[in-house]
Amino acid sequence: MQKPSFDPGLTQKYSQGLKRIINPNGRFNVRRTGTTWRDFHPYLFLVDAPLSVFIGVILAGYFVINLLFASVYWMIGVEQLHGAAAATPFLTFMNAFFFSAHTLTTVGYGNIYPAGVAANSIAVLEALIGLMGFALGTGILFGRFSRPTARIGYSKRMVVAPYQEITSLQFRIVNRRPNNLLNLEARVLLMTVQSVKDLARRNFDILPLERDSVIFFPLPWTIVHPITETSPLYGLTAQDYDRLQLEVLIMIKGMDETFGQTVHSRYSYRYDEIEWGAKFSPVFEVEESGDLLLEVNRVSEIERVIG
């Protein structure tokens, strides 16, 4: 029986040019279609959405709900809202809108108040929706801020640098936040595109590392893959990297000491993001007081290797 080839879950099928597997923001380069509304999970969407999108959705929802209830008050007759009458229909509708906002938030200034069964019933329903809606929104907001996430900074480029008596493929990471990450583990995969019987095929190899874990992470960690005779990169040149459409996929896992939970980070480098004949510059030094000074913004600095 033929031994199955290694596939980390990213498929080996390949038919045309692919931008990259993992985008710089850590998300997989996969566009999904064919889903239905039942597959949409509003909580997951609001928790994962960028902050600007989250704020936009909340503001839009708040405006739409008040607009709907203002329209309902308008349809049953604004005269049932004492104090809402104004000089023009537009101003009268705006008073209904503002009353809706006061009711939804349970502020209740009292300058406009409902009279009659219909208006009071709608106001009671709106107050209930407001209480539940703000409780739900507060929970989602708490979920966004309380969810442990890692903000690991990656060097902008990988380097092919000298390593002992051979060469190595290296990249550098740093914790951009002041919290402590412990027991960091790194897994690095190599993706190449090769022709097999005139058909393009994506191959994946695990790159062995000089050190695949560290206990503490207060300083930058330069992750090194020695290019030995057993490495899939052995003997390859920069032109070969280009021809093979090489991409290095990175998975970092660690423990966030503050939350006591595991956090993950993903990143990738393509062949055109690899610098040959270079090494990373030092980014920390010992001060006169004996403390270590780390310059996080210099994590990507490299210098040429002479000779």
pLDDT at site 185:
96
pLDDT at 307 over 60: no
The residues near 27 (Cβ < 8 Å, ≥ 6 apart) are 266
Highest mean pLDDT among 9-18, 96-105, 288-297: 96-105
> Residue 134 in 3-state DSSP?
helix
* Predicted confidence (pLDDT) per residue in 31-75, tens digit: 878 888 888 888 888 988 888 999 999 999 999 999 999 999 999
Pairwise CA distance, residues 55 & 301, whole Å = 36
Q: What one-character-per-residue DSSP string does 212-276 give?
A: -EEEE-SS-EEEEEE--TTSTTTT--HHHHHHTT-EEEEEEEEEETTTTEEEEEEEEEEGGGEEE
Secondary element (H or E) of residue 290: none
pLDDT at site 28:
80
pLDDT at 20 over 50: yes
Give the pair of three-digit tokens for residue 60: 């839009």
pLDDT at 231 over 70: yes
Q: Please report which confidence band the pLDDT of residue 4 belongs to, taking 50, 70 and 90 as the band edges.
A: low
Q: Please report which confidence band the pLDDT of residue 200 belongs to, taking 50, 70 and 90 as the band edges.
A: confident
Query: Quick count: other Cβ atoms within 10 Å of Cβ 255?
Result: 17
Q: Is 197 exposed, middle or buried (0-12, 13-18, 19+ CB in 10 A)?
A: exposed
pLDDT at 2 over 80: no
Q: Please report which confidence band the pLDDT of residue 16 belongs to, taking 50, 70 and 90 as the band edges.
A: low
Q: In the chain, at which residue ranges do the beta strands (DSSP E only) sit?
A: 81-82, 113-114, 152-154, 158-163, 166-175, 181-196, 199-206, 213-216, 221-226, 247-256, 261-270, 274-276, 278-280, 284-286, 292-294, 302-304
pLDDT at site 279:
92
More confident residue, 1 or 271: 271
Q: What letters, b where the CB count within 10 A reaches 16 and e where it falls short, cover 270-297?
A: bbebbbeebbbeebeeeeeeeeeebeee
Q: Please report which confidence band the pLDDT of residue 1 belongs to, taking 50, 70 and 90 as the band edges.
A: very low
pLDDT at 290 over 60: yes
Pairwise CA distance, residues 228 & 164, whole Å = 11
Q: Please report which confidence band the pLDDT of residue 205 belongs to, taking 50, 70 and 90 as the band edges.
A: very high
Mean pLDDT of 99-123: 90
Mean pLDDT of 292-296: 90
pLDDT at 183 over 80: yes
Secondary element (H or E) of residue 149: none
pLDDT at site 194:
79
Pairwise CA distance, residues 70 & 284, whole Å = 60
* Predicted confidence (pLDDT) per residue in 134-175, tens digit: 999 899 998 888 888 888 999 999 999 999 889 999 999 999
Mean pLDDT of 126-136: 93
pLDDT at 17 over 70: no
pLDDT at 199 over 80: no
Pairwise CA distance, residues 296 & 155, whole Å = 10
Mean pLDDT of 218-247: 93
Average per-residue pLDDT for the chain: 89
